[in-house]
Copies of this chain bind each other. A is one copy, B any other.
Amino acid sequence: MLHKVDDILSKHALRRTAFRQELLKIFIESGSRALSHTDIEEALGDHDRITLYRTLKSFQDKGLIHEAVDGGKDTKYALCQNQCDVHHHIDHHPHFLCESCGVTYCMDEIKIPDFDLPRNYTLKGMHLALSGTCASCSKV
């Protein structure tokens, strides 16, 4: 695991510090679930708030994580699945916020359908934020 973590860090030209290794491990373990600042602070034992802000920004800039726009008030972050790097992100999947458990999921398997934009508009980015009840909350 630590090997995988270090691999990812160096692949994205990030120095292997204890903080970054811990943070990346947390993201890997969370799978397709997006994490809020609070989620992360709870997962990290002792930590520095400011370093977390900065590390999240580095991870985002270097293409390790992306912001999961889910329509909720808390910003959430999740691992990039694809080959995102310092130059560009390609996280074009929807995000689903469960109103029952509060978890936000990356829906990597779903493609956002096409649609027509009015004349003279140029599309560069796109976020589809869904909400409702997730699979595990539906079963109860």
Residues of A in contact with B (beta carbons under 8 Å apart): 69, 71, 94, 96, 99, 107, 109-135, 138-139
Contact = CB atoms under 8 A, between A and B. Distances in A.
B109 A121 contact: no
Task: Count the copies.
Answer: 2
A107 B118 contact: yes
B120 A110 contact: no
Contacts of A99: 124
Contacts of A115: 94, 110-113
B129 A127 contact: yes
A120 B107 CA distance: 14
Contacts of A109: 118
Nearest to A109: B118
A135 B99 CA distance: 35
Given A69-B71, A110-B117, A112-B115, A132 B138 contact: no
